Amino acid sequence: MPEDLNWAIGGEAGDGIDSTGKIFAQALSRAGRHVFTSKDFASRIRGGYTAYKVRTSVDRVESVVDRLDILIALTERTIDENMDELHDGSVIIYDGERSTMQDVEVPEGMIGLSVPLQRLAEDAGGAIMANVVALGAACEVANFPIENLDESLEKRFGDKGEAIVENNKEAARLGQQHVQEEYDHDFDYDIETTDNDYVLLNGDEAIGMGAIAAGCRFYSGYPITPATDVMEYMTGRVERYGGKVVQAEDELSAINMALGAARAGARAMTATSGPGIDLMTETFGLVATTETPLVICDVMRSGPSTGMPTKQEQGDLNMTLYGGHGEIPRFVVAPTSVSECFWKTVEAFNYAEKYQTPVYLVSDLALAVTEQTFPPEAFDMDEVEIERGKVVDEEDIDGWQNEKDQFQPHFPSADGISPRAFPGTTGGAHMTTGLEHDELGRRTEEEEVRIEQVDKRTQKIETAKEQEDWDYREFGDPEADTLVISWGSNEGAMREALGFLDERGHDVRFISVPYIFPRPDLSEEIEAADDVIVVECNATGQFADVIEHDVLERVQRVNKYNGVRFKADELATDIENTLAGTDAGSQEVEAE
């Protein structure tokens, strides 16, 4: 029996794949098991192959792997799409009574279970419950107590009335009973349950939760894959704390609304993906030059242009580092896990206000749609600290006024951080502009003032470098001669890849970098290693370029840009091949 179970449901977009997968993932989580999910979906409402995969174990899981144990195939194409991950003993559940599935040929060594999903669903109250029948069949195959599905079904269908909930419970049991009665087979799977309590959420939800915990009270955004779930999570929740979510007419309006809210004193955020960042870039410069604290979340996807909206990529790094005309001080923070999406969002708001500058919070599709389990203490709200920076009130405003009692919102202080007065503060009335300005916020073209203000804005970053902890996260063998570096969502896959590499005789030190700018100095770590490999999901190695620029040393690269995230076992092979000098792993990835 394998230590973990890999389950999937696949079919056409519009077949209820996502909701079915979530029901099963929630049931496993509530049964005290760790869960890690992944999605493969087309950029359309109906049609096109889509799948929802769940990896589950009693132990923590942080990645997908190239193995599939139970597959619910709603279409024949689903089997073809997953053939490389199926193995001897894999169980394929399908509806052999459907005309499109009658000619299904189950590959040799695998177990095919023809279950009349639609007919049994109709017996339970409606054909729409066919996927729930399949879940019941999967519970029997995995020896997973079907009662664990009940709470998930209640949560999913509770607002539709008790009768609908009971019909779905009956549909699941009919699927279970059919397998029991029609198939006398001893399956290789036995899902163990525990009394552990876990939280199940994805990266977008964690960002939304982190924003609310950090005191964000205004969110404006325009729906775009894969960032929309941030807005959906906050809607209906931030209002409980006196906040507001606004769906803007486009990305330009979204960032301008957020800028206005931030100028008014609210912690504000907007979230989008690459095409939206393109449109927001001009206002991004206005945010920086007016010294307005604002968090801008970029949930990356495959580009350029419309690209592949539902596929994974880390191609926006250069844009977040260098995008915009002129020289713009900024912070770029990239969460490395779903839980870090929460904590780095909190940090992003603190950086924005402490240093009065825009902060890019850079996530990606792999983090956005991945649902993962965590113990509740991973999101301990008592550990959240809110730092609002150099805010002044009536009691100390006079220390920041000139001889005419005029407030100086752009005072050239030594640390680069000026005082900030919220609207309505007595003695704090002021103006500012996107034009170059003096300490009072008035437009100017005086050379000395221009130099003074540019130096002041630049000094903020130097101050932050000294005051904040920009350290990396480290795993593996700290004394190993092989050093692997990654950023963003690759951390989970790489952490599990360390186990595969260890089994193959490779000692590896792994550094995961959540801070892109400012970022840690890796010179000593790279100098101490014989082999340095940078792992990322883009074609050109954008982070590898940054590292080479910093340390003036060449590094090796493992790049994946076919729209699919790294898998742990695949990544281990890519690294092993790179160390051997064949580079076969990367070549295979590029050819896909």
Q: What is the pLDDT of residue 51?
A: 94
Q: What is the pLDDT of residue 588?
A: 41
DSSP 428-491: ------SS-B-TTS-B---HHHHHHHHHHHHHHHHHHHHHS----EEEE-TT-SEEEEEEGGGH
Model pLDDT, residue 451: 98
pLDDT at 422 (0 to 100): 95
Q: Are 62 and 182 in contact (CB under 8 A)?
A: no
Low-confidence stretches of the chain (pLDDT beneath 50): 1, 584-592
Q: What is the pTM of this model?
A: 0.94
Query: Each residue of 73-100: pLDDT tens digit?
Result: 999 999 999 999 999 999 999 999 998 8
pLDDT of residue 13: 84
What burial class does residue 265 get, using C-beta atoms within 10 Å of its C-beta: 0-12 exposed, 13-18 middle, 19+ buried? middle
- Residue owning tokens 């965590």: 374
d(CA 318, CA 312): 17
DSSP state of 74: S
Please identify which residue in the block is written with the tokens 């990896």: 55
* Per-residue pLDDT tens digits for 317-329: 999 999 999 999 9
Alpha-carbon span 297 to 277, nearest angstrom:
9
Find the Cα–Cα–Cα–Cα dihedral 566, 572, 576, 581, rounded to 10°.
Answer: 0
